[in-house]
Structure 1
Amino acid sequence: MTGQALNSALARGVRPASLSELAAIWQTDVVAIDLAGMAGFAATPSIGNKLRGALGQVLLESASDAVRDRRPCTWPRTSTAEIFFGTRPTIRLGDHSSEIAKPYVLEALVAKDGALRVRLAVFGAARERTDAVADALVAAMRQSVKWRELARDGSLFVPKSVEPVKVIVFRDQALVPLTCPTSKLKLVFLTPIDAERGNVLTSPTLILERIVRRTALMAPWYGLSLAEEYDTLIEAARAVAIEDVQMTSVECPAQGGHRWANALSPPVSMALSCPIEQIQAALLIGEVIHVGRGASLGLGRYHIV
């Protein structure tokens, strides 16, 4: 379908559904690319933007002229660049509208063997292009990422030739069920989370509301709409009892390359207790898609313990 048809399908070709229905059909593809001896780059402040920019550059090389001009793709089978980087329509959730979420999370991690791991999670209908975006990401690692600019941030060594030592694609990953008691959970954040809108320090339930909203903004990629249930889910998020909150607001450079005056940097954690059941599926999805500004670049990543 063309880019315009894709946007129409995402905005209007979805059926009303519940959060539990979304969780039941949820699947993620994951591309993991390891670069030996480069683990230090995972902590450089602008790694997220550099990775995204390099991937976009490679994808645009095989995109339509319309996409290069920042217009919806006109090809009968829309380009991969359109799917991952095109402008999406807005949908109304509650009392205001937001753009449908980008169908991926791209982040830099440290692998167990000390390599730099570039990890791309792909969601919903975008998974049809997992192979194409994986090939593009490998090409970006080799030829487009500005490694020397990143190296200056941390006085790092850049190999003469950057060559992935391992490329793994995990397909059709369902949500991982909770193994801990569902009456009491703890969210432990592993990367900074945006705290610019609202006072998260005094109202930590805002984090839960953002998890619900990002989940609803990702649902159209699975052919579903949570709009009818959205207000109920937000009220459920506000009703969750939050205890033992550990968070500090500091000015810090985030991995997306932006400096926020009101960011929460690890250690950040919050213990949740009943009633959790109504938003439990959103918390599981949030583990995969992250939360807050910069979530698609690895910010707002948490684990449930």
Structure 2
Amino acid sequence: MSKGDKKRELPPVPEPTPAPFVDAHTHLDACGAKTAEDVRALVDRAASAGVARVVTVADDIAAARWAVEAATWDDRVFAAVALHPTRTKDFSAADREVLTELAAHPRVVAVGETGLDYYWDYSPPEPQQEAFRWHIELAKRTGKPLMIHDREAHEDILRILDEEGAPEKVIFHCFSGDAEFAKACVAEGYVLSFAGTVTFRNAEGLRAAAELVPEGQYLVETDAPFLTPHPFRGRPNQPYCANYTLRGLAELRGMTVEELAVSVNATAERVFALDQV
């Protein structure tokens, strides 16, 4: 097998964790799922590695509609809906109407991913910030957690949350800050969700942040098909790979795999109110 072929190959399915847990943020559609059978296959594979449930997340209107439908196909799948900040340049009244309707669906457990992304230039800061404020209000209206995408926008994210008044539950998906930013988020009661990047040996600031977050304020996610954890960085990602991230985070925090799985599962159940779905 060539090096290029190896890069396109999925990582092996690892031994299951001793306790089940939730992949708090994935994109089943971007993993190639189209039908109920596709979704079931992805979630079955995840379950074989201990990842018992997943939250599939939308980044545009079509993906939001699909995520809600997919969450009705399998009881192990839940949805989050929003317009990704990089797509907010033309955020219309019709888009807002659709998202308001979808966010009320009982299988939708979060409003996201929304926030700010100053890395890409697809949408200027002004419409991103306006859309972020609208999503904050939607989360408060629905009583569902706000799932934040934050890329190179730490200060503005915290400022806008403060100005608007944050919802009761806020999740920083794929947390990307250092220890100081983590402390600021933790002080506000926000939940930090760690993806495969926390297993990267060169992510010193992020790894320091992951060590200090208190029990009950952290989750594990894949953001699949992106951000595949070490030692498979650069290869395709799927929900089952949250197993690798959880193991890496457990080692980093000095916990057993079972202890961490139980912890993040309990936090996911509480934050997403999974027992009420």
TM-score normalised by length of structure 1: 0.22
Give the structure with the larger strand fraction.
1
- The two structures have a TM-score, normalised by structure 2, of 0.24
Higher Rg = 1
Which structure has the highest helix share of the two? 2
